[in-house]
Amino acid sequence: MPGVLAATVRIQRQDFDVAAEIAALTQGRVDIGAVVTFSGLCRDEQGALSALELEHYPGMAEAEIGRIATEASERWPLQGLSVIHRHGKIAPGENIVLVVAASAHRQAAFEAADFLMDYLKSRAPFWKKEHRTDGSEGGWVEAKETDAQAAQRWKRPPSE
């Protein structure tokens, strides 16, 4: 089993700079051969959405994301891992989430980033409310069954 590393987990209102986050994770490191990033953006839903408002339970969200980041570092040989998730009102085109996974080899970095995003989409404690361009509230966004199904592929068999 790979060693457990201390991942960076941040939940913040302000935007983040993807290139700066990659640089912070890799600066001075010569053991990293692959960096995989996923950045999720707010989309406008064909012009119908003026903003997406994300709420979270402070403390609980960081702990849950930290727990799954630790699991990723136990499953894959990672040299670095950062997860940043924004909250508040986010306009179309703005950043929502960033996952940066660094490893000596690409497969571990890809799989760890994929694992984290499947978790974030299916089980992270965030609530999303749509604000529409016509001024109406679109309501709270329900979780998608396809996201839950995607996360199932990472489920480990019960220990004996």
At residue 147, the pLDDT reads 58
The domain 8-41+56-124 having CATH identifier 3.50.50.60: the answer here is no
The pLDDT of residue 17 is 98
The pLDDT of residue 4: 57
Strands (E) across the chain are located at 8-12, 34-41, 49-56, 78-86, 88-90, 95-103, 126-132, 137-140
What is the identity of the amino acid at 79?
A: Q
pLDDT per residue, tens digit, the chain (160 aa), is 445 577 999 999 999 999 999 999 999 999 999 999 999 999 999 999 999 999 998 999 999 999 999 999 999 999 999 999 999 999 999 999 999 999 999 999 999 999 999 999 888 889 999 999 998 878 888 766 765 676 677 787 666 4
| Cross-sheet strand order for the sheet of 137-140 | 88-90, 49-56, 126-132, 137-140
- Cα torsion angle, 65, 106, 37, 22, sign: positive
